[in-house]
Amino acid sequence: MKVADLSYRELCSELKHGLYIQMGAFVLDIQTQIPAAIHGFATIYADYSLASREFADFHVRLKSSQGVRRWIRKQVLFECDGALPFKPLPYTQAFPMLEWGMNWCVSSHAHGYLMIHAAVLERDGRAVILPAPPGSGKSTLCAALTHHGWRLLSDELTLINVKDGLITPLPRPVSLKNDSIGVIENFVPDAVFSIPVTDTIKGTVAHLKPPPDSVMRGHELARAAWIVFPQFKADSETMIEAIPKARAFIRVADNAFNYSLLGSAGFHALAKVLDNADAFELSYSALDQAMQFFDSLAKAEE
Protein backbone atom coordinates (compact mmCIF):
# COMPACT_ATOMS: atom_id res chain seq x y z
CA MET A 1 0.00 0.00 0.00
CA LYS A 2 1.23 3.47 -0.89
CA VAL A 3 0.65 6.89 0.60
CA ALA A 4 -1.42 7.76 -2.50
CA ASP A 5 -3.87 4.97 -1.62
CA LEU A 6 -4.93 6.86 1.49
CA SER A 7 -7.60 9.52 1.30
CA TYR A 8 -6.52 12.90 2.62
CA ARG A 9 -8.60 12.32 5.73
CA GLU A 10 -7.01 8.90 6.26
CA LEU A 11 -3.55 10.38 5.78
CA CYS A 12 -4.24 13.04 8.41
CA SER A 13 -5.38 10.33 10.81
CA GLU A 14 -2.32 8.18 10.17
CA LEU A 15 0.06 11.10 10.61
CA LYS A 16 -1.69 12.10 13.82
CA HIS A 17 -0.85 8.75 15.41
CA GLY A 18 2.33 7.93 13.48
CA LEU A 19 2.65 6.80 9.86
CA TYR A 20 5.33 4.20 9.10
CA ILE A 21 6.91 4.71 5.68
CA GLN A 22 9.67 2.94 3.75
CA MET A 23 12.49 5.18 2.48
CA GLY A 24 15.11 3.02 0.80
CA ALA A 25 16.74 0.88 3.50
CA PHE A 26 15.08 2.79 6.35
CA VAL A 27 11.68 2.88 7.98
CA LEU A 28 10.55 6.17 9.50
CA ASP A 29 7.65 6.69 11.86
CA ILE A 30 6.36 10.20 11.10
CA GLN A 31 3.86 12.05 13.24
CA THR A 32 2.47 15.55 12.70
CA GLN A 33 -0.77 17.51 12.70
CA ILE A 34 0.61 20.64 11.04
CA PRO A 35 -1.43 21.32 7.86
CA ALA A 36 1.45 22.63 5.73
CA ALA A 37 3.55 19.57 6.55
CA ILE A 38 0.67 17.22 5.78
CA HIS A 39 0.00 18.93 2.45
CA GLY A 40 3.67 18.72 1.48
CA PHE A 41 3.85 15.09 2.56
CA ALA A 42 0.73 14.17 0.53
CA THR A 43 2.19 15.85 -2.56
CA ILE A 44 5.77 14.65 -2.41
CA TYR A 45 5.47 11.19 -0.80
CA ALA A 46 2.50 9.82 -2.77
CA ASP A 47 4.57 6.99 -4.32
CA TYR A 48 6.20 5.76 -1.09
CA SER A 49 5.13 2.45 0.44
CA LEU A 50 3.67 2.18 3.90
CA ALA A 51 5.67 -0.04 6.22
CA SER A 52 4.78 -2.40 9.04
CA ARG A 53 4.26 -0.69 12.39
CA GLU A 54 6.41 -3.34 14.09
CA PHE A 55 9.68 -1.41 13.75
CA ALA A 56 11.05 1.99 12.73
CA ASP A 57 14.65 3.14 12.45
CA PHE A 58 13.60 6.65 13.46
CA HIS A 59 10.56 8.07 15.24
CA VAL A 60 9.98 11.60 13.97
CA ARG A 61 7.63 14.18 15.47
CA LEU A 62 6.91 17.58 13.94
CA LYS A 63 4.85 19.71 16.30
CA SER A 64 3.87 23.24 17.20
CA SER A 65 5.63 25.02 20.02
CA GLN A 66 3.68 25.46 23.24
CA GLY A 67 3.01 28.40 25.56
CA VAL A 68 2.69 31.87 24.14
CA ARG A 69 4.34 30.69 20.91
CA ARG A 70 1.13 28.83 20.11
CA TRP A 71 -0.47 32.20 19.35
CA ILE A 72 2.24 34.78 18.73
CA ARG A 73 4.88 34.22 16.03
CA LYS A 74 4.15 30.50 15.95
CA GLN A 75 7.03 28.07 15.72
CA VAL A 76 7.58 24.43 14.77
CA LEU A 77 9.73 21.85 16.56
CA PHE A 78 11.42 18.76 15.10
CA GLU A 79 11.85 15.74 17.38
CA CYS A 80 13.72 12.52 16.62
CA ASP A 81 13.52 9.60 19.04
CA GLY A 82 12.54 11.96 21.85
CA ALA A 83 15.39 14.44 21.27
CA LEU A 84 15.14 17.99 19.91
CA PRO A 85 18.28 18.41 17.74
CA PHE A 86 17.36 21.83 16.31
CA LYS A 87 16.14 25.19 17.47
CA PRO A 88 12.51 25.98 16.57
CA LEU A 89 11.77 27.48 13.17
CA PRO A 90 8.88 29.70 12.06
CA TYR A 91 5.64 27.76 11.70
CA THR A 92 5.53 28.48 7.95
CA GLN A 93 8.73 26.44 7.51
CA ALA A 94 7.20 23.19 8.79
CA PHE A 95 7.69 21.08 5.65
CA PRO A 96 11.30 22.15 4.97
CA MET A 97 12.09 21.44 8.62
CA LEU A 98 10.62 17.95 8.27
CA GLU A 99 12.81 17.34 5.22
CA TRP A 100 15.99 18.68 6.79
CA GLY A 101 15.27 16.78 9.97
CA MET A 102 14.81 13.43 8.22
CA ASN A 103 18.12 13.89 6.41
CA TRP A 104 19.72 14.63 9.78
CA CYS A 105 18.31 11.41 11.27
CA VAL A 106 20.14 9.31 8.70
CA SER A 107 23.36 11.34 8.49
CA SER A 108 23.77 11.35 12.28
CA HIS A 109 23.09 7.69 12.96
CA ALA A 110 23.55 5.38 9.94
CA HIS A 111 27.19 4.51 10.64
CA GLY A 112 26.92 1.13 8.99
CA TYR A 113 27.66 3.16 5.86
CA LEU A 114 30.34 5.58 4.81
CA MET A 115 28.15 8.65 4.30
CA ILE A 116 29.18 11.22 1.70
CA HIS A 117 27.53 14.60 1.31
CA ALA A 118 26.82 14.03 -2.36
CA ALA A 119 24.06 13.40 -4.83
CA VAL A 120 24.16 10.00 -6.48
CA LEU A 121 22.31 8.62 -9.51
CA GLU A 122 22.35 5.35 -11.44
CA ARG A 123 22.05 4.28 -15.05
CA ASP A 124 22.33 0.70 -16.28
CA GLY A 125 23.63 -0.46 -12.90
CA ARG A 126 26.43 2.14 -12.75
CA ALA A 127 26.29 5.11 -10.42
CA VAL A 128 27.69 8.62 -10.61
CA ILE A 129 28.52 10.39 -7.35
CA LEU A 130 28.30 14.20 -7.27
CA PRO A 131 30.12 15.55 -4.19
CA ALA A 132 29.93 19.32 -3.90
CA PRO A 133 29.58 22.15 -1.38
CA PRO A 134 26.48 24.39 -1.21
CA GLY A 135 26.17 26.74 -4.17
CA SER A 136 27.83 24.38 -6.65
CA GLY A 137 24.62 23.56 -8.53
CA LYS A 138 24.72 19.95 -7.35
CA SER A 139 21.00 19.66 -6.56
CA THR A 140 19.97 21.44 -9.76
CA LEU A 141 22.10 19.01 -11.74
CA CYS A 142 20.69 16.07 -9.77
CA ALA A 143 17.10 17.20 -10.40
CA ALA A 144 17.73 17.50 -14.12
CA LEU A 145 19.39 14.07 -14.33
CA THR A 146 16.47 12.39 -12.56
CA HIS A 147 14.34 13.42 -15.56
CA HIS A 148 16.99 12.56 -18.12
CA GLY A 149 17.28 8.79 -17.88
CA TRP A 150 19.05 8.51 -14.52
CA ARG A 151 17.61 6.85 -11.40
CA LEU A 152 17.74 8.97 -8.28
CA LEU A 153 19.54 7.24 -5.42
CA SER A 154 19.89 10.37 -3.29
CA ASP A 155 20.19 14.12 -3.54
CA GLU A 156 22.06 14.59 -0.26
CA LEU A 157 23.53 11.35 1.09
CA THR A 158 25.60 8.76 -0.76
CA LEU A 159 25.50 5.64 1.45
CA ILE A 160 28.47 3.35 0.76
CA ASN A 161 28.38 -0.10 2.34
CA VAL A 162 31.62 -0.52 4.25
CA LYS A 163 31.80 -4.25 3.43
CA ASP A 164 31.49 -4.27 -0.36
CA GLY A 165 31.59 -0.63 -1.50
CA LEU A 166 28.11 -0.82 -3.04
CA ILE A 167 25.77 2.16 -2.81
CA THR A 168 22.46 1.82 -0.95
CA PRO A 169 19.71 4.12 -2.28
CA LEU A 170 17.97 6.71 -0.15
CA PRO A 171 15.52 8.12 -2.70
CA ARG A 172 14.10 11.30 -1.19
CA PRO A 173 12.88 14.64 -2.53
CA VAL A 174 15.44 16.89 -4.20
CA SER A 175 15.87 20.12 -2.28
CA LEU A 176 16.07 23.19 -4.51
CA LYS A 177 16.46 26.82 -3.59
CA ASN A 178 16.06 30.27 -5.07
CA ASP A 179 16.74 30.49 -8.84
CA SER A 180 17.20 26.71 -9.13
CA ILE A 181 13.45 26.21 -8.62
CA GLY A 182 12.59 28.14 -11.77
CA VAL A 183 15.43 26.53 -13.70
CA ILE A 184 14.03 23.04 -13.08
CA GLU A 185 10.43 24.18 -13.64
CA ASN A 186 11.53 25.25 -17.13
CA PHE A 187 13.74 22.21 -17.75
CA VAL A 188 11.15 19.69 -16.52
CA PRO A 189 7.70 21.18 -17.23
CA ASP A 190 5.81 18.27 -15.61
CA ALA A 191 7.90 18.24 -12.41
CA VAL A 192 5.95 18.20 -9.12
CA PHE A 193 7.11 20.54 -6.36
CA SER A 194 6.13 21.26 -2.80
CA ILE A 195 4.86 24.80 -2.21
CA PRO A 196 7.90 27.12 -2.14
CA VAL A 197 8.71 28.49 1.32
CA THR A 198 10.38 31.88 1.56
CA ASP A 199 12.71 33.49 4.10
CA THR A 200 14.38 30.28 5.30
CA ILE A 201 18.05 30.17 6.25
CA LYS A 202 18.65 28.98 2.66
CA GLY A 203 16.36 31.54 1.03
CA THR A 204 13.32 30.28 -0.87
CA VAL A 205 13.19 26.47 -0.89
CA ALA A 206 11.01 23.86 -2.60
CA HIS A 207 11.26 20.09 -2.83
CA LEU A 208 11.00 18.12 -6.06
CA LYS A 209 9.01 14.89 -5.98
CA PRO A 210 11.20 11.89 -6.89
CA PRO A 211 10.17 9.88 -9.96
CA PRO A 212 8.03 6.85 -9.00
CA ASP A 213 10.58 4.45 -10.52
CA SER A 214 13.31 5.76 -8.24
CA VAL A 215 11.11 5.27 -5.18
CA MET A 216 9.98 1.77 -6.14
CA ARG A 217 13.56 0.64 -6.83
CA GLY A 218 14.85 1.92 -3.50
CA HIS A 219 16.16 -1.56 -2.63
CA GLU A 220 18.37 -1.91 -5.75
CA LEU A 221 22.06 -1.35 -5.01
CA ALA A 222 24.53 0.16 -7.47
CA ARG A 223 28.27 0.31 -7.96
CA ALA A 224 30.00 3.65 -8.50
CA ALA A 225 31.50 4.09 -11.96
CA TRP A 226 32.14 7.83 -11.91
CA ILE A 227 32.77 10.63 -9.45
CA VAL A 228 32.02 14.08 -10.82
CA PHE A 229 32.74 17.28 -8.90
CA PRO A 230 30.32 19.84 -10.38
CA GLN A 231 30.56 23.60 -10.24
CA PHE A 232 27.98 25.95 -11.71
CA LYS A 233 29.53 29.08 -13.23
CA ALA A 234 27.10 31.53 -14.79
CA ASP A 235 27.65 32.30 -18.50
CA SER A 236 30.65 29.98 -18.73
CA GLU A 237 31.46 27.31 -21.26
CA THR A 238 31.16 23.68 -20.22
CA MET A 239 34.58 22.38 -19.17
CA ILE A 240 35.50 18.82 -18.21
CA GLU A 241 38.78 17.68 -16.70
CA ALA A 242 39.78 14.18 -15.66
CA ILE A 243 41.48 14.20 -12.25
CA PRO A 244 43.76 11.65 -10.54
CA LYS A 245 42.11 9.13 -8.25
CA ALA A 246 44.33 10.10 -5.33
CA ARG A 247 43.10 13.70 -5.48
CA ALA A 248 39.52 12.50 -5.88
CA PHE A 249 39.91 10.25 -2.82
CA ILE A 250 40.95 13.18 -0.63
CA ARG A 251 38.13 15.40 -1.89
CA VAL A 252 35.47 12.74 -1.37
CA ALA A 253 36.79 11.99 2.12
CA ASP A 254 36.54 15.70 2.91
CA ASN A 255 32.85 15.53 1.97
CA ALA A 256 32.14 12.54 4.23
CA PHE A 257 30.14 12.86 7.44
CA ASN A 258 31.78 9.94 9.22
CA TYR A 259 35.06 9.09 7.45
CA SER A 260 37.15 9.69 10.59
CA LEU A 261 34.64 7.89 12.79
CA LEU A 262 34.81 4.73 10.69
CA GLY A 263 38.62 4.66 10.65
CA SER A 264 40.13 1.91 8.50
CA ALA A 265 36.68 0.62 7.47
CA GLY A 266 35.91 4.01 5.93
CA PHE A 267 39.29 4.11 4.19
CA HIS A 268 38.84 0.67 2.63
CA ALA A 269 35.23 1.36 1.60
CA LEU A 270 36.22 4.54 -0.19
CA ALA A 271 39.24 2.81 -1.76
CA LYS A 272 36.90 0.18 -3.25
CA VAL A 273 34.82 2.94 -4.78
CA LEU A 274 37.83 4.71 -6.30
CA ASP A 275 39.23 1.43 -7.65
CA ASN A 276 36.25 1.18 -9.98
CA ALA A 277 35.40 4.83 -10.64
CA ASP A 278 36.82 7.50 -12.93
CA ALA A 279 36.89 11.05 -11.56
CA PHE A 280 36.17 14.36 -13.29
CA GLU A 281 35.67 18.04 -12.60
CA LEU A 282 32.70 19.56 -14.42
CA SER A 283 32.22 23.30 -14.79
CA TYR A 284 28.93 24.24 -16.45
CA SER A 285 26.29 26.92 -16.91
CA ALA A 286 23.93 25.26 -19.42
CA LEU A 287 22.02 22.18 -18.24
CA ASP A 288 21.62 20.88 -21.80
CA GLN A 289 25.39 20.72 -22.23
CA ALA A 290 25.81 19.12 -18.82
CA MET A 291 23.29 16.43 -19.82
CA GLN A 292 25.34 15.72 -22.94
CA PHE A 293 28.41 15.12 -20.79
CA PHE A 294 26.57 12.60 -18.59
CA ASP A 295 25.12 10.91 -21.67
CA SER A 296 28.64 10.54 -23.03
CA LEU A 297 29.78 8.89 -19.78
CA ALA A 298 27.04 6.30 -19.95
CA LYS A 299 27.51 5.58 -23.66
CA ALA A 300 31.28 5.25 -23.35
CA GLU A 301 30.80 2.33 -20.93
CA GLU A 302 28.30 0.42 -23.11
Query: Is pLDDT at 71 greater than 70 in this prediction?
Result: no
Helix (H, G, I), strand (E, B) or coil at 198: strand
The answer to whether residue 126 scores a pLDDT higher than 60 is: yes
Provide the pLDDT for residue 234: 85
In a shared domain, residues 200 and 246 = yes
**Reported confidence tier of residue 68, pLDDT bands at 50, 70, 90:** low
What pLDDT score does 236 carry? 84
Domain limits for position 93: 3-109
Q: How many domains, the chain?
A: 2
Q: Are residues 117 and 105 in the same domain?
A: no
Range name among 189-193, 234-238, 284-288 with the lowest pLDDT average: 234-238
Long-range contacts of 265-270 (CB under 8 A, 24+ apart): 265/114, 265/162, 266/114, 266/162, 268/162, 269/114, 269/160, 269/161, 269/162, 269/163, 269/165, 270/114, 270/160
Segment 13-31, tens digit of pLDDT: 999 999 999 999 999 999 9
User: Do 118 and 89 belong to one domain?
Assistant: no
Mean pLDDT throughout 64-73?
69
Q: What percent of the chain has pLDDT over 90?
A: 90
How confident is the model at residue 135, as a pLDDT?
80
Say whether both 43 and 153 belong to one domain: no
Taking phi first (over 0 means left), then psi (-120 to 50 degrees means alpha), and beta for anything else, what does residue 135 get?
Answer: left
Domain finish residue from 84, 109, 134: 109
Q: What is the per-residue pLDDT across 266-278, written as a single tens digit (0 to 9) for each? A: 999 999 999 999 9
Last residue of a domain, one of 78, 109, 140: 109
Looking at the fold, whether 291 and 222 belong to one and the same domain comes out as yes
**pLDDT tens digits for range 178-191:** 999 999 999 999 99
The average pLDDT across 32-60 equals 96
